[in-house]
Structure 1
Amino acid sequence: MSIGVKIEELQAKFNLELIGEGVSLERMIQTSDLYRPGLELAGFFTYYPVDRLQLLGKTELSFVESLSADVREERMRKICHPEVPAICITRNLNTPADLLKAANEIGVPVLRTTLPTTKFAGKVTDYLENRLAPVSTLHGVLVDVYGIGVLITGESGIGKSEAALELIKRGHMLVADDAVEITQVTEGELSGTAPPIIKHLLEIRGLGIMDVMILFGAGAVRNKKNISIVVRLETWRENYPYDRLGLSEETIRIMDTELPKLTIPVRPGRNVAVLIEVAAMNYRSKILGYHAAEQFVTRLENSLEEK
């Protein structure tokens, strides 16, 4: 099955006018790139990207009017390639009769918008990038802690949901529990959300499933959050050389993005929620340019040099 955005969905989203008849709106857009066929209107079709939504604005249509009748008809037929998902006229401009005739014969939808070409292209590109972005589902809990998206991972039963519950009680927000749908919106940027069926729900062993928004209010949940760091919970291992300074920075690759990763060993007496909270604050301080571990090493080296 093809993955993409149907033309009818794009039409409904941007309130586009359908010009012509006998065309299918089931055609799929499978790339977020748009195209303004200036070179093609001039006769150069060698690299014509037929898989993109084609935009015709004031510049293109003014050039079309300057062509002779025979040349105009020939160019319009080539513009309406069978693989073109749709052609969109901007600024509510009049549609050339030759274009409409060729599009109807081949079955390419011709749409029209009142928006200027640049503004319309920006809106459609943003929409298509979000709709066509790669999506992956990971087992974990996503919370918003002080504005930092923290993805909590670890083996089943380690206490991820319990840590999230404590964070919610401390004023932070739940995004997703158990399953996190991750979308790579742009390069280096991951956005997480909950599948609709478990939205706002939290499962605690011994208590069952609870609705966080009902129990704690709308301020305790959010629908989407960019992921900044990954915190992995694991069972405490005796004599394991855990990082005690914070100089070594581990990363994890999710889809095409590298994210900083922290490993927190869990054992009785450790308040995991507080540790995650501090990890988020420490990450934020690093973004602002302050690295506590590096400052400590610098002070230590200076002290040794003085002695």
Structure 2
Amino acid sequence: MADFVTVDEVVKKLNLTVKSGIDFINRKVKVSDISRPGLELTGYFDFYPADRIQILGRTEISYIKSISHLNRMAVFEEMCEAETPAFLVTRDLEVPPELMAVATSNGIPVISSSIATSQVSSMLEQFLSDQLAKRVSIHGVFVEIYGLGVLITGESGIGKSETALELLKRGHLLIADDRVEIHQMNQNSLIGEPPEILRHLLEIRGLGIIDVMSLFGVGAVRDRADINFKVELVNWDNNNRYDRIGTQFKKDEILGIEVPRVTVPIRVGRDIPGIIEAAAMNYRSKLMGFDAAKTFDNNLNQLIAKNSKIDQENESEEQRQKDHAAAKPLNKDTNDQDHA
């Protein structure tokens, strides 16, 4: 996780213009949230988020023009605190000269954008969230199978890269091999991508490093994807009881977010890429409401109920026959008495 992003990086990423304070362009941005000052422009600063980039759009600039020069100077002096990263004016609006003067005297850059406030706000938040998000590096292979981001893990040498190679040949996409950089997109999703030095590369023991994009084309790689599903490869152990029904996925926690996981045991003769394909399709079908394990469970319950009903009927018939047999001697005695 990066501790900060510089204003210069923001300017380059969003193609912004520096209006003043070019000497302070390396000022640090440490939070991903942004601020559009409203009450602050009227002089209310009790809850002013000074550590955020301050965005001024058409509404804010219009209000600033309506107040006096002295009030503008007083407001901007209050807004220019030690931790304030920068001021961003949108829509190529004219920057108030008081803002540039006060910001420059406090060592804060003023930057501008030609696009609408909502658009630049969304782009800026997305960039800052991406750069400042929590990150972790995991040993594994990350591929996209039928639109699902599948993280393949397992001990070194178990065959993760070879499995990825076969999946590529079947038309799926490689995102990362060996190391997967994972960062938290929001409270419910994770993004996986390769380290820059390993981008589009795949290592096969005995063959070496191959360039996937050169061999399979640009349609065989992706730079990043959501992590939807995890497959753990393990060596086959005859003493281990592996899941044979799959009524529910186990879950692993990455950066505080639960990721569904299946464990696939490796042994000679098993089509591991095909099994992983099936696991991905099965997971997708569960997301769509079709669960083979539940279908099997329902069928089993129906069969048990049916057999139980048959058993009850057989028991009833057997009991009826016993009752009938027990009643016959009684009828014979009654007839003998009648003849006498």
The alignment's TM-score, normalised by the length of structure 1, stands at 0.94
Report the CA distance shift for 1:70/1:202 in structure 2 as closer, same or farther (over 3 A): closer
Q: In angstroms, what is the RMSD of aligned CA positions?
A: 1.7
Match of 2:232 in 1: 232
Matches within 5 A, 1:290-301: 290-301=290-301
CA contact (8 A) 2:193 2:223 kept: yes
Contact 1:30–1:51 at 8 Å: present in 2 too?
Answer: yes
Quick one: distance in 1 between partners of 2:201 and 2:184? 24
Alignment CA distance shift 1:248-1:122 (3 Å): closer
Q: Partners of 2:91 and 2:222 in 1: how far apart?
A: 37
* Residue 157 (structure 2) pairs with residue 165 (structure 1): no
Query: Which amino acid letter does the alignment assign opposite residue 177 of structure 2?
Result: D
Aligned to 2:135: 135
1:303 equivalent in structure 2: 303
Q: Which residue of 2 aligns with 1:284?
A: 284
CA–CA separation in structure 1 for the residues paired with 2:255 and 2:191:
12
Asked which structure has the greater CA Rg, the reply is 2
Distance in 1 between the 2:11 and 2:270 partners? 54
**Alpha-carbon distance in structure 1 between the residues aligned to 2:165 and 2:115:** 46
**More helix by proportion, 1 or 2?**
2
Aligned residues of 1:91 and 1:116 also touching (Cα < 8 A): yes
Rounded Cα–Cα distance in structure 2 between residues aligned with 1:220 and 1:62: 50
1:34-45 mapped onto 2 (5 Å cutoff): 34-45=34-45
In 1, Cα distance between the equivalents of 2:172 and 2:20?
53
Give the direction of change, closer, same or farther, for the CA distance of 1:173–1:118 in structure 2 (3 Å limit): closer
Once residues 135 and 202 of structure 2 are traced to their aligned partners in structure 1, the CA distance between those partners, rounded to angstroms, is 22
Measure the CA separation in 2 of the matches of 1:187 and 1:21. Answer: 36
1:191 aligns with 191
In the other structure, the counterpart of 1:219 is 219
Contact persistence 1:22–1:107 (CA under 8 A): no
1:243 aligns with 2:243: yes
Q: Cα distance, 1:21 vs. partner?
A: 4.3
Give secondary structure in 2 for the equivalent of 1:76.
Answer: helix
Runs of 4+ residues over 3 Å off in structure 1: none
- Partner deviation per Cα, 1:172-230 (whole Å, 9 max, x = no partner): 12111111111212222111111121222222222222222222232322222211111
| Closer, same or farther: CA 146–73 of 1 in aligned 2, 3 Å | same
Are the counterparts in 2 of residues 22 and 104 from structure 1 also a CA contact under 8 Å?
no
DSSP 3-state at the match of 2:143:
strand
What residue in structure 1 maps to residue 314 of structure 2?
A: none
Mapped partners of 1:295, 1:47: distance in 2: 55
Shift in CA distance, 135/66, structure 1 to aligned 2, threshold 3 Å: same
Structure 1 residues 72-130: Cα deviation after superposition (integer angstroms, max 9, x where no partner): 22111111222110011122222222222211111111112222222221221122222
Give the drift of 1:284: 0.9
Q: Is the 8 A contact 1:23 1:104 kept in 2?
A: no
Answering whether residue 156 of structure 2 is matched by residue 156 of structure 1, we say: yes
When residues 306 and 2 of structure 1 are mapped into structure 2, their CA distance, relative to the original with a 3 A threshold, is closer
Structure 2: which 5+ residue stretches go unaligned?
308-340
- The normalised TM-score by structure 2 is 0.86
Distance 1:82 1:250 in 2: 48
| CA positional deviation for 1:67 | 2.5
How many residue pairs were aligned? 307
